[in-house]
Amino acid sequence: MDILNEGFSQPWAGPLYPDPPYYYRGARVMLGVYEADTESVATLLPPGVTCLEDPTVCIAWVCNYPFTSFGTYNEAIMLIRVEFEGEAYSYCPFIYTDGEAPLAAGREIWGWGKKLADLRFDYGGYGVGYREQFVFTMDRPANKRLLTVNMSTDRPATEEEVGGLPMLTLRKIPNSEAGKPPSVCELLRTDVDLIVHRAVDGTPDLWAGRCSVTMDSPSELDPLYKMAPRRMLGGFYGIYDWTLAQGHQVKNYLAAADVEAPVSTGSYIQREG
């Protein structure tokens, strides 16, 4: 076998996930949009990336995926509206999943900093206990509630209301040898075209309503609290399809830094002129 051109992912002899692109169908997506403390959120951003607004606007993007190329899973994607080199993006400092294949692919291909967590997406209904609301919860570890998102679908929404920005992620891969800078340290842009499902009358299956996002208990291992809500702006729920392709590099930190060997503190020495 040709090791460079055959087998897309690890393990080489039995890849965990297939070649791109990756298909998502019938995804149930809930968005909690809110304002957060700009100074606190800024500590989560890589060099050169700044908050787009003040107060900063953040989004808790929580999903249930009934079909994807990676199987069926749930996901919680925490986003910050940012600016980098004159372009607006949604930057992701935290993302959690309950699937093995999407965790590996997300980290390896795009630099999504995925971790495993216990995620649950529940729907309202008679006798179920959730009444008129959708509820998404995330525990990590079990029984430590880090995030709750709940909303009611009060009215139809438009695609223009929901909007969307390209995704920005930091892909950092440690060097295989001790005492050397990372093998990869780059910012990646990923463009995703979301296709909303439509009812038989042609209207989008997209809804707006009252929403709450709470960081239920602080954790220094998963410091979501740094982007905790100060004021809710609203919520959206929709059913979407999309096809996920690879991103492209917008910043190579290694090339920009021109680094030598790291000093004992773990920082890197900049070359002079």
| pLDDT tens profile 8-43 | 888 888 889 999 999 999 999 999 999 999 999 999
Placement of tokens 């080199």 in the chain: 85
pLDDT greater than 50 at residue 235? yes
pLDDT greater than 70 at residue 266? no
Of the candidates 87, 37, 59, 73, which has an alpha carbon nearest to the alpha carbon of residue 187? 87
Placement of tokens 């609203």 in the chain: 234
Q: Where are the chain's structural domains?
A: 22-168+195-244
pLDDT at 256: 83
Could you tell me whether strands 114-116 and 87-97 are parallel, antiparallel, or unpaired per DSSP bridges?
A: parallel
Is residue 109 a contact partner of residue 103, using CB atoms and an 8 Å limit? Answer: no
Q: Check residue 125 and give left, alpha or beta (phi > 0: left; psi -120 to 50: alpha).
A: left
Sheet containing strand 145-152, strands side by side: 118-122, 133-139, 145-152, 211-214
Rg (CA), the chain: 20
CATH topology for 22-168+195-244? Answer: Acetoacetate decarboxylase-like (2.40.400)
What average pLDDT is seen over the chain?
92
- The secondary structure of the chain, three-state, reads CCCCCCCCCCCCCCCCCCCCCEEEEEEEEEEEEEEECHHHHHCCCCCCCEECCCCEEEEEEEEEECEECCCCEEEEEEEEEEEECCEEEEEEEEEEECCHHHHHHHHHHHCCCEEECEEEEECCECCCCCECEEEEEEECCCCCEEEEEEEECCEECCHHHHCCCCEEEEEEECCCCCCCCCCEEEEEEECCCCEECECCCCCECEEEECEEEECCCCCCCCCHHHHCEEEEEEEEEEEEEEEECCCEEEEEHHHHHCEEEECCCCCEEECCC
What is the longest distance spanned by two Cα atoms in the chain?
70
**Residue partners of 64: CB distance under 8 A and separation at least 6:** 27, 28, 74, 121
For the stretch 49-60, pLDDT in tens is 999 999 999 999
pLDDT at 1: 61
For the stretch 68-81, pLDDT in tens is 999 999 999 999 99
d(CA 211, CA 232): 7
pTM attached to this predicted model: 0.91
